A = this chain, B = another copy of it.
Amino acid sequence: MTTRHLIPARKGAAHRMKKGETLRVINTHGSQVVDFWAFNAADLGECMSMEHSRAAIGRIIPKVGDVMVTNKRRPILTVVADTSPGIHDTLIASCDVYRYEGLGHKGYHDNCTDNLGRALEALGLKRVVHPCPFNLFMNIPVRDEVAISFEPPVTKPGDSISFRAEMDAVVAFSACPQDLLPINGRDCVIHDAHYEILPA
């Protein structure tokens, strides 16, 4: 049976993947955004890049069959399945202490930027670059070709998106702790998410 790994609510996780393995990221409770990153395991300066991937796939939201590329334009992950409505985001930075400060929060707030650093540290790795994340299940519609807004997810419990690793990679996740905007659901409650790694 496939092991289901935890992405704890408000926190991060990271995992080493071998080329050919498949990653399934699961929106366990149905409205949780998962910030997601991938790096070349042999060179953490080579990362899955939203600005390079958009150019490669000709879309701002990847779909099944699309190949995400690195900042060296090499395939790193292919989207092989998506049981969600297919709404994800490649446009918005991970949240950080400055974001919560700007929203009026006092004191430290969990955030996806710090979560990535700590998740890599837990694998004994040091962050070299902080790329724009692939925000799984995040709903940022583009209206009239230019206007964007932060909307609740359109997912349901158990929706998942799956990726095949096209190189040995380190993947990292953050169960986004954004509870001041309804990006994780109108109730602004943050939930766990999970992931599985399936053999080649």
Contact = CB atoms under 8 A, between A and B. Distances in A.
Given A54-B148, A59-B146, A73 B92 contact: no
Given A142-B60, A148-B59, A54 B102 contact: no
Interface stretch (A44-52, A115-123, A157-165): A44-52
Interface stretch (A2-10, A20-28, A93-101, A187-195): A93-101
Interface in A114-170: 129-130, 132, 141-143, 145-149
A146 B60 contact: yes
A141 B142 CA distance: 11
Counting contact residues on chain A (CB < 8 A from B), the size range is 20 to 34
Nearest to A143: B145
Given A73-B99, A96-B73, A91 B148 contact: no
A54 B146 contact: no
A58 B93 contact: no
Copies in the complex: 2
A73 B97 CA distance: 10
A182 to B, nearest CB: 15
A72 interface: yes
A52 B162 CA distance: 27
B98 A55 contact: no
A52 B50 CA distance: 13
Given A52-B93, A61-B146, A71-B93, 6 more contacts: A54-B148, A58-B148, A59-B147, A60-B146, A73-B99, A74-B98
Interface of A: 49-52, 54-55, 58-61, 71-74, 91-93, 96, 98-99, 102, 129-130, 132, 141-143, 145-149
